[in-house]
């Protein structure tokens, strides 16, 4: 995907704000370019919120709104606060319900500021994980 410096800064800010809990949200895309950031609440219970869960009906409503606005669900983003920004088995399982969606993962492990956050994106097709480029600017 392509994403502007400003939108990426919003996503990175969300990840750092929620750390050490994982953050999650959705990026609306138009023609492969991110046009809006929608933060979601991580509803995973527990003190650390390692891993993430979203409210399914809320996500479905959000996707309707994105489509009504002429966008498309382009990417689901979340952060990894203690591991590398690579899809976990849980992510791969969850992705089965959202075919064709890019998975943007923000690695905040050890990050002291936005410049330390690692940003990666993947397509997940069944058990096959393919990294795809993120072009910023």
**Residue (63 or 86) nearer to Zn ion, CB:** 86
State the nearest-atom distance from the C-beta of 20 to Zn ion, in Å. 14
DSSP H helices in 46-119: 56-68, 89-95
34: left (phi over 0), alpha (psi -120 to 50) or beta: beta
Using CB under 5 A as the criterion, what x/- string covers residues 54-93 for binding Zn ion?
----------------------------------x--x--
State the nearest-atom distance from the C-beta of 5 to Zn ion, in Å. 24
Q: DSSP character for 116?
A: G
Closest CA to 88 of 58, 51, 121, 61: 51
In 22-43, which positions are buried (b, 16+ CB within 10 angstroms) versus exposed (e)?
Answer: bbbbbbbbeeeebbbbebbebe
Using CB under 5 A as the criterion, what x/- string covers residues 90-129 for binding Zn ion?
-x--------------------------------------
Place of tokens 């905040």: 108
**Residue (35 or 94) nearer to Zn ion, CB:** 94
State the nearest-atom distance from the C-beta of 67 to Zn ion, in Å. 25
How big is the site for Zn ion, counted in residues (CB under 5 A)?
2
What is the binding site for Zn ion (CB under 5 A)?
88, 91
């Amino acid at each position: 995907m392509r994403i502007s410096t400003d939108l990426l800064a919003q996503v990175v800010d969300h990840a750092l704000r929620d750390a050490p809990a994982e953050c999650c949200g959705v990026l609306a895309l138009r023609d492969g370019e991110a046009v809006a950031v929608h933060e979601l609440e991580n509803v995973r219970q527990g003190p650390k919120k390692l891993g993430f869960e979203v409210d399914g009906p809320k996500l479905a409503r959000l996707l309707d709104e994105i489509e009504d606005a002429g966008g498309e669900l382009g990417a689901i983003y979340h952060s990894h606060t203690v591991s590398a920004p690579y899809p976990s088995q849980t992510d791969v399982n969850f992705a089965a319900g959202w075919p064709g969606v890019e998975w943007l993962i923000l690695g905040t492990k050890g990050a002291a500021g936005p410049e330390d956050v690692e940003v990666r994106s993947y397509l997940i097709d069944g058990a096959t994980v393919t990294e795809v480029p993120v072009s910023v600017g």
